[in-house]
Chain A
Amino acid sequence: MLSAGYEQDVSSAGPVSIKILIAGGFGAGKTTMVGSVSEIRPLRTEEALSEPSILVDTLDGIEQKSTTTVAMDFGRITVREDLVVYLFGTPGQHRFWFMWDELALGALGAVVMADTRRLADSFPSVDYFERRGLPFVVAVNCFDGAKRFKPDAVRTALDLDAGVPVVLCDARQRTSSRDVLVTLVEYAIKLISDSEIMSSY
């Protein structure tokens, strides 16, 4: 069934891809996390600015500019030959949210990186994934010098549903970032089995 060189082979369907979003405020450690667990590569996307953002953005001196280049962090973990996990570090600024809809489509779930010094920066991501019904976990990135918060304090501050996992992590550490991803996948599995029990899905 192996594809022979340049011959197209419809039977080689290619790997199944799993998409995980890494979201959070600017500087919360998204790039660090993607880089610590996967081979990180830049991915540029050139997008037309939507009308509302044209109104909001100052475009003085860039007349007629209707596209913008957005750089995403893009990581790939090859689980098996036929199974690949893709990580997308989502651009945090509001004006790039139009990209989130595409990224969220068919995604397994999301990690919301939180910096306890700027917890409010993670509100928009939390809101977005709650509204979308996309499974997410909150990963509190423990920066050097940042005050340690108990996960429950973060849960309360972010007003999270009881089931949403909140974990402490050090995004620089491969094993720590990996554990966050494992937590997300296990949470997604739990939600699936819960919904099967409820048979409401």
Chain B
Amino acid sequence: MRDDQWFDRDAGPVVRPYALTRGRTRPSGAVIDLLALVTAAGVSQSDLRMLEPEPRQLMRIARNPISVADLASDLDLPLGVVRILLADMRERGLVTIRPPARTRPTDPQLLKDVADALRRL
């Protein structure tokens, strides 16, 4: 049996994300909110080229602030994997992560704007 036959198709997407996160299933630090906004830091092209494909792609997608949920969906990676990547990338100064408001929105004007906008859909 060859070394690379220990997994099969049934292993599914589990192998890749966990390889990607070097076996970890939990990010370091506090949980990164689903709607936290991620912004890529300014890094040189040569630094970008040093990154693995997923972080590199993440850096490209996050040039403008983007939510963690949007990122996971765009990258087609499970949320948990993206959170681990993000925690690492934050430690390395590659991204900044701004948590969303943790409380229910209570600004009536903001909510009226939302209602008006929805009515125009």
Majority SS of interface residues in chain B? mixed
Chain A residue numbers with a CB within 8 Å of B112 are 189
Task: Give Cα A182–Cα B114 distance, bound, in whole angstroms.
Answer: 8
Interface residue from A6, A105, A185 paired with B40 (Cβ < 8 Å)? A6
Closest to A178 in B: B121
Interface extent on B, as a size class? 35 or more
Interface residues on A, range: 35 or more
Q: A17-B35, A182-B119 are in contact. Are A108 and B65 (CB under 8 A)?
A: no
Within 8 A of B (CB), among A84-125: 84-86, 102-103, 105-109
Interface contact A80-B79, CB-CB below 8 Å? no
Is B79 a contact partner of A42 (Cβ separation < 8 A)?
Answer: no
Known contacts A8-B41, A188-B111, A178 near B79 by CB under 8 Å? no
B80–A83 touching, CB < 8 Å = no
What's the dominant secondary structure at chain A's contact region? mixed
> Measured between alpha carbons, how far is A41 from B73 in the docked complex, in Å?
7
Does A12 have its Cβ within 8 Å of any Cβ on chain B? Answer: yes
Is B111 touching A108 in the complex (CB atoms < 8 A)? yes
A45 at the interface (CB under 8 A from B): yes
Nearest CB on B from A169, distance (A): 14
CA gap between A42 and B121 in the complex, in Å: 22
Ranked nearest first, the 8 interchain pairs of A and B with the lowest CB-CB distance are: A14-B65, A46-B78, A45-B79, A79-B117, A14-B37, A185-B115, A46-B80, A44-B78
Q: Which residues of A contact B (CB under 8 A)?
A: 3, 5-8, 10, 12-19, 37, 41-48, 66-67, 69, 74, 76-77, 79-80, 83-86, 102-103, 105-109, 134, 174-175, 178, 181-182, 185-186, 188-189, 192-193
